């Protein structure tokens, strides 16, 4: 259990949300009122977009619905207030997270449209990351919707013990968060047209754990046909982690972000017993469902213990990495990439939680991670080339874990699908995470998202060159949603990924957008030589 407990250190973004309410008003159809399959919703109309928040796409997951697949949302009379986001799904806040949330009535989504939502516009479904914290409304979709002329749907889904908990007596457990996301996709199929969207042109868009989930949808049979394109930022089905890579007490992980169903169920059974829930199946389930959300969340690090989805069940019969290698995935265009300095976020977390890497321990942490290969790694990444051991180790793991994983994943996907491979390379972005003084943020994990889902307060921090980069990225991503090809409108050409190892670098300034040799930049030939 200690490996998963240490994942409690992996927190990245602040979360803030408030609850939506329903009201009964006249049934007048105006620009701010839309009729969907469960009733009417009244949103907010601004100069450049419309926003509908807190729309239930499934029923409450409380009571008997806890750990069941998402159930249909109830209809309502009158016009529902959709001017505020719904409650985030249960989660634990903290110093680097938002407030605690205990509300299991949380399966809400938000829809942002251009001001004139007529015709069949592409629909982009945002699946947030951060593992065991977050909600659909954290990022702003206004700019992407208005500038890209697309419909953006952002989704809450169950996380941690509520979304990936597994137990021998729960037939559908281990992947409930994935099933929630699919229910949101099915809601889009039924309701996209009401907002001016095309249900036959849907793009999944996610970062980190959200992108990892999308890699699951690429191989999940029941998700096929519900989306036509996929955008994945810094989340993979093929990444492993060396010993100590993420935290000094977290051992090696064969698959980062996924776990074996039988192991997940055994963990669930053990924790149920610790919570006093033992006996026959009915007794155990009744006992577990009688626990309040607060009681479950009080178990140490329970959200991180069950952060990963499981495979080896009807939902995902084989490991996602094996499915990709076998070619068992959806044939859809893919836009996927990573940031230049991915692992700086995770080294920053080590520092902030009291475990910095001192210079005199650099060789020791390499030995922990690479064993007999530590000496050759140190030769490739000499400490003298970096400001300190924290920066050096961040570069080592960026290349070994993140760059190697995205290259391998995109190579497998490109065997069947058009793939557009990017690297976000702005090393001076506004930092949305409290980096310590020992480590410059660089192009850190998640740094690219606010360039696409751009809130006004973030925009105010951008230089003119960074604003141009943001506009260019929104253009690429939106054209990909429209056609499956990011090129056009006079943008710098973005070649489809091939065998060269070159990818589209995205950086501000003159010449900042263009092809770079990703394989050489991240020493991938060296890492592959180590096996």
Q: What is the CA radius of gyration of the chain?
A: 22
Q: Is the pTM of this model over 0.85?
A: yes
Q: What whole-number distance in Å separates Cα of residue 313 and Cα of residue 185?
A: 21
Instruction: Kindly tell me if the per-residue pLDDT of 10 is higher than 50.
Output: no
Give the pLDDT band (50/70/90) at residue 530: very high
pLDDT tens per residue across span 445-458: 999 999 999 999 99
pLDDT value of position 148 = 98
pLDDT tens per residue across span 15-24: 222 233 333 3
pLDDT tens per residue across span 73-121: 999 999 999 999 999 999 997 554 567 899 999 999 999 999 987 789 9
pLDDT value of position 25 = 35
Q: What are phi and psi of 506, to 5 degrees?
A: -120, 100
pLDDT value of position 97 = 54
pLDDT tens per residue across span 379-424: 999 999 999 999 999 999 999 999 999 999 999 999 999 999 999 9
Q: Which residues are catalytic?
A: 208
Q: What whole-number distance in Å separates Cα of residue 213 and Cα of residue 177?
A: 9
Angle, alpha carbons 422-387-380 (nearest 5°): 65
Give the pLDDT band (50/70/90) at residue 5: very low
pLDDT value of position 281 = 84
Domains of the chain and any CATH numbers: 2-239+260-311 (3.40.50.1820), 335-462+520-530 (no CATH)
Buried residues in 42-75 as b, exposed as e (16+ CB within 10 A) = bbeeeeebbbbbbbbbbbbbbeebbbbbbeebee
Mean pLDDT of 512-530: 98
Pairing mode of beta strands 44-45, 108-113: unpaired
Mean pLDDT of 491-500: 94
Provide the mean pLDDT of the chain. Answer: 92
Tokens, residue 46: 């601004």
Highest mean pLDDT among 17-26, 218-227, 495-504: 218-227
pLDDT value of position 27 = 33
Contact, 377 vs 204, CB < 8 A? Answer: no
């Amino acid at each position: 259990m200690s490996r998963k407990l240490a994942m409690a250190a992996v927190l990245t973004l602040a979360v803030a949300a408030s609850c939506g309410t329903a009201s009964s008003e006249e049934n007048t159809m105006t620009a701010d009122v839309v009729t969907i399959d469960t009733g009417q919703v009244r949103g907010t109309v601004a100069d450049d977009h419309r926003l509908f928040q807190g729309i239930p796409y499934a029923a409450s997951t409380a009571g008997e619905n806890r750990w069941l697949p998402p159930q249909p949302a109830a209809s309502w009379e009158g016009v529902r207030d959709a001017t505020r986001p719904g409650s985030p799904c249960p989660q634990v806040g903290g110093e680097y997270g938002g407030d605690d949330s205990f509300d299991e009535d949380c399966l809400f989504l938000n829809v942002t449209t251009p001001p004139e939502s007529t015709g069949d516009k592409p629909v982009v479904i945002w699946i947030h990351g951060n593992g065991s914290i977050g909600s659909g409304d954290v990022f702003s979709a206004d700019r992407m919707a208005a500038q890209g002329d697309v419909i953006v749907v952002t989704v809450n889904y169950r996380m941690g013990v509520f979304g990936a908990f597994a137990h021998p007596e729960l037939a559908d457990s281990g992947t409930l968060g994935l099933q929630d996301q699919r229910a949101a996709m099915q809601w889009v199929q039924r309701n996209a047209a009401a907002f001016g969207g095309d249900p036959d042109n849907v793009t999944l868009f996610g970062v980190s754990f959200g992108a990892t989930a999308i890699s699951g949808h690429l191989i999940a049979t029941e998700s096929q046909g519900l989306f036509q394109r996929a955008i994945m930022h810094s989340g993979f089905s093929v990444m492993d982690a060396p010993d100590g890579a993420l935290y000094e007490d977290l051992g090696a992980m064969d698959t980062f972000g996924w776990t074996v169903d039988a192991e997940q169920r055994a963990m669930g059974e053990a924790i149920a017993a610790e919570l006093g829930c033992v006996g026959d199946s009915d007794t155990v389930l009744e006992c577990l469902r009688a626990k309040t959300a607060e009681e479950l969340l009080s178990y140490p690090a329970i959200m991180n213990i069950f952060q990963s989805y499981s495979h080896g069940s009807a939902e995902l019969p084989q490991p996602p990495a094996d499915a990709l290698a076998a070619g068992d995935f959806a044939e859809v265009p893919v836009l996927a990439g990573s940031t230049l300095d991915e692992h700086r976020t995770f080294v920053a977390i080590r520092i902030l939680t009291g475990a910095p890497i001192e210079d005199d321990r650099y060789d020791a942490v390499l030995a922990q991670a690479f064993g007999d290969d530590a000496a050759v790694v140190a030769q490739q990444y000499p400490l003298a080339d970096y400001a300190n051991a924290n920066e050096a180790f961040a570069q080592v793991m960026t290349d070994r874990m993140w760059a190697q994983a995205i290259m391998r994943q995109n190579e497998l996907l490109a065997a069947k699908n058009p793939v557009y491979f990017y690297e976000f390379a702005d090393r001076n972005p506004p930092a949305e995470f409290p980096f310590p003084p020992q480590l410059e943020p660089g192009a850190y994990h998640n740094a690219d998202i606010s360039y696409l889902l751009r809130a006004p307060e973030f925009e105010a921090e951008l230089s003119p060159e960074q604003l141009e980069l943001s506009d260019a990225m929104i253009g690429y991503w939106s054209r990909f949603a429209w056609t499956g090809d990011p090129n056009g409108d006079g943008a710098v050409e973005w070649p489809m990924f091939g065998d060269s190892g070159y990818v589209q670098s995205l950086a501000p300034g003159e010449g900042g957008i263009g092809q770079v040799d990703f394989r050489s930049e991240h020493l991938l030939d060296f890492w592959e030589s180590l096996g």
